[in-house]
Structure 1
Amino acid sequence: MKNYQRIEGLVAASFTPMDALGNVYLPAIEHYADLMARSGMSGVFVCGTTGESHSLTTQERKEILVEWVKSAQGRFKVIAHVGSNSMREAMELAAHAQQVGADAIAAMAPCFFKPATVRDLIAFFAPIAASAAELPFYYYNMPSMTGVSLSVPEFLVEGKKVIPNLVGTKFTHNNLMEMGECLALNNGAFEVLHGYDEILIAGLAFGAVGGVGSTYNYLPKVYLGIIEAMKKRDMETARQLQQQSIEVVKVIIKYGGGVRGGKAIMNLIGIECGQCRLPITPFSDEEYISLKEDLEKINFFN
């Protein structure tokens, strides 16, 4: 792997901008990337769950990644999610990510025909990771979306034997015991990127030093504050800041969760992200008014 360095800090799970007709709107990414740089992001996670990856075509995913790499200008890392139900499609996306200059790749497990064992999961991922052998590969573990609940520690240990560029996991699960196991493997041999924004404090307490999250896009000061407070062992400040994030997460859950509600928030703060693709319901004008009122009640804009 070329110039591999572990990720520390915040990686924003990026939304995919759309125009009024539901087409990918690439021009918004340059302004979006400037915001991420100003916000102190260590990276962006492109075309993952937040980016509606499974609602995009392969060509769209390639075009979005190219625009992010170009717009990042080396100011932060660009991690390409290449996961797909089709291994061949994922291999194509991985090879493309390496070709266009992404800093790393990640993939979630297939969610239609699912791997039954860790061995099956390794067999599925091995050719995908090999298609971008010069890039670090992260297993994107998100059983709530994929329905795949195989042992992540076992995958990391056994997978490393046949996937040389396997460096860790994006751990989007609330099983903190398993997360702790991953962090402790082989004296911290693997990266564990914390994936649940509303319990970042817990991941940091276990020893994680980086996280990937959708609310990092519009709450960077809160999460950077949590990281700084935890470094200083100032638990009271860390708890207060985490509670602020929880209040925002409660609001986005009211409006359909992190993708739908979060994308609407991006529009409110001036990043043109448009609507989500169907089957996610479009956001109505009335909902925008209500969302803004709910955010004002918790001093979000301040």
Structure 2
Amino acid sequence: MNNYERLEGMVAATFTPMDENGDVNLSVIEKYADWIASTPIKGVFVCGTTGEFSSLTIDERKLILEKWVASAGKRFKVIAHVGSNCQRSAMELACHAEKAGADAIASIAPSFFKPGTVDELIDFFAPVCRSASELPFYYYNMPSITGVNLPVDRFLVEGKKKIPNLVGTKFTHNNLMEMGACIDLEQHKFEVLHGFDEILIAGLSMGAVAGVGSTYNYIPNVYHAIFESMKQNDVETARAWQMKSIRTVEVIIKYGGGVRGGKAIMKLIGIDCGSCRLPIKPFSIEEYDKLKGDLDAINFFDF
């Protein structure tokens, strides 16, 4: 962690491209990376929820990360999500991430056999982080998915004692009181990456300086404008841009949410990431037409 730099701005949670057979389509990633590099996005969050990590094999996750690192070419940072219900698998993925050249690792909490206390969560993550001891580690907090709703501020303080490379959290929760407490710890010692695209303005107002989001992939200019407006204390302009984000999220919710709807939007903007793996059903031709109509109705393609 000698050259560690804190994250700022947008980190896109990337989709995992699939071909018509449902196999990982690595060939799309180079074009995808070029698109990311052409925007104000500062990094990518690979094989997270948006990347369907729980539907991928360990070998697939390794190949996807390797392709992203190679395609990024140091133009933006690559954060490897290594989370798994199996601690040994997470350790293997963390070790691989360090060897592959990732800039950081992150992990969601195990969600089948759940840790019931902060100490149990720390004990789960400590060996994972030792497997990539030179990389910064972010705890991916998403209680709506994991059912693990432990105090993140306490995890950061206590976890740092056993996990030297713990630097912060990807905070995908709408508990702004808890988020503020995390940001305020020890004179802003820890990074808090805001994780809810549709309320980014709220996270920035609490003091976050970076965010991880799936919709950053296809409307980066909207979020860049929110970041820049908030830096200038222009809340009215930031709010206007945030409403464009909200309108977009309202549309994708109609089509099954951020992963399914987001992949379809990526195809519409020219980066075909294919369908999701089951149990998320593929888009029909009729749905693509309806989606485009709904996006046209909110002037999405002019954002």
How would you bin the TM-score normalised by the shorter chain? over 0.9
- Residue 129 (structure 1) aligned with residue 129 (structure 2): yes
1:204 is aligned with what amino acid? L
| Shift of residue 282, structure 1, vs aligned partner | 1.0
Please show how residues 1-302 of structure 1 align to structure 2 within 5 Å.
1-302=1-302
| Shift of residue 281, structure 1, vs aligned partner | 1.1
Q: Report runs of 4+ in structure 1 exceeding 2 Å deviation.
A: none
| Shift of residue 82, structure 1, vs aligned partner | 0.0
Contact 1:104-1:137 at 8 Å conserved across structures = yes
1:268 is aligned with what amino acid? L
**TM-score, normalized by length of structure 2?**
0.99
Structure 1, unmatched stretches of 5+, are none
Q: Supply the distance in 1 between the matched residues of 2:197 and 2:289 (Cα, whole angstroms).
A: 25
1:131 is aligned with what amino acid? S
Contact 1:215-1:258 at 8 Å conserved across structures = yes
Q: Supply the distance in 2 between the matched residues of 1:166 and 1:247 (Cα, whole angstroms).
A: 35
3-state DSSP of counterpart to 1:259 = helix
1:158 is aligned with what amino acid? E
Q: Supply the distance in 2 between the matched residues of 1:77 and 1:2 (Cα, whole angstroms).
A: 16
Across the aligned residues of Structure 1 and Structure 2, the Cα RMSD in angstroms comes to 0.4
| Shift of residue 226, structure 1, vs aligned partner | 0.4
Q: Supply the distance in 1 between the matched residues of 2:202 and 2:212 (Cα, whole angstroms).
A: 14
Percent identity among equivalent residues? Answer: 70
| Aligned residue-pair number | 302
| Shift of residue 126, structure 1, vs aligned partner | 0.2
1:280 is aligned with what amino acid? I
3-state DSSP of counterpart to 2:168 = strand
Cα deviation, 1:249-298, whole Å, max 9, x if unaligned, reads: 00000000000000100011110200000001111111000000000001
1:182 is aligned with what amino acid? C
Structure 2, unmatched stretches of 5+, are none
Q: Supply the distance in 2 between the matched residues of 1:292 and 1:258 (Cα, whole angstroms).
A: 15
Contact 1:83-1:108 at 8 Å conserved across structures = yes
| Shift of residue 39, structure 1, vs aligned partner | 1.0
Cα deviation, 1:212-271, whole Å, max 9, x if unaligned, reads: 000000010000000100011111100000001000000000000000000100011110
3-state DSSP of counterpart to 1:11 = strand
Q: Supply the distance in 2 between the matched residues of 1:202 and 1:252 (Cα, whole angstroms).
A: 21
**TM-score, normalized by length of structure 1?**
1.00
| Shift of residue 2, structure 1, vs aligned partner | 3.1
